[in-house]
Amino acid sequence: MADVYIKVDHLNRLNGSLKQILVEFADAAKRTDALQDMIGRPDGRSSLRDRTHEFEGGWDDRRNALIQKLTGIQAAVESTCTGWQDFDLEAADSLKLQENDGANLPTR
């Protein structure tokens, strides 16, 4: 299996993007209500408003399923980022020389 290299910065940006998408999905229902109010009943007919309501009802279930899946993906990306950043800090700390370590280094 081939190695996959992903920059932590890219994972951080992906995490931010996923969070923005989740906010957009959460706010979508509010915008649909506003859209239905703007449509109103032109010429006394409600068919366009009714179709908008039907679409929102179907989309609402799909959106909730997407929110659940995206929430899981976002949490996994965030956890991976945090894990790698913590590992990097611990590895860097373990490579630091202590005050007396210089005396034990080889000389030419």
- 12-40: pLDDT as tens digits: 999 999 999 999 998 887 777 777 777 77
Residue 86: predicted pLDDT? 94
Minimal CA–CA distance to 85: which of 5, 13, 12, 4?
12
Q: How far apart are CA 77 and CA 9, in angstroms?
A: 12
Q: Which 8-state DSSP code applies to residue 99? A: T
Residue 69: predicted pLDDT? 97
Q: Is residue 2 part of a domain?
A: no
Q: Is residue 23 part of a domain?
A: yes
| Mean pLDDT, the chain, whole residue set | 86
Q: How far apart are CA 37 and CA 39, in angstroms?
A: 5
What range does the domain containing 49 cover?
13-83
pLDDT higher than threshold 70 for residue 72: yes
**Considering the entire predicted model, what is its pTM?**
0.70
Residue 99: predicted pLDDT? 67
Q: Is residue 58 part of a domain?
A: yes
Residue 102: predicted pLDDT? 66
